[in-house]
Amino acid sequence: ENLSKFNIPFELHIFPKGLHGLSTSRPNVCWDENARDILVLPYISRWVGLSIKWLDDTFFDGTYSR
């Protein structure tokens, strides 16, 4: 609410599963082979692309994320 009030650009995505600090949540960054079922969640890895798109659209001309 305050971000909007002060015209600070933001976007929020809340994923229903997963731990904080999953990085890209892909097998190549999984730090515990015994916990792959909770650490490797492909749908969570979308946050990286979402972030790039938002940054590009917000601060640049939108050409980097196309």
Q: What is the pLDDT along the chain (66 residues), one digit of tens a residue?
A: 899 999 999 999 888 877 677 777 777 777 777 777 777 777 888 888 899 999 999 999 877 666
Distance between CA 1 and CA 47 in Å, rounded? 22
Compute the radius of gyration of the chain from its Cα atoms. 15
Give whole-number Cα distances, 11 to 8, 26, 40, 52, in Å. 10, 23, 24, 12
Looking at residue 55, its pLDDT comes to 92
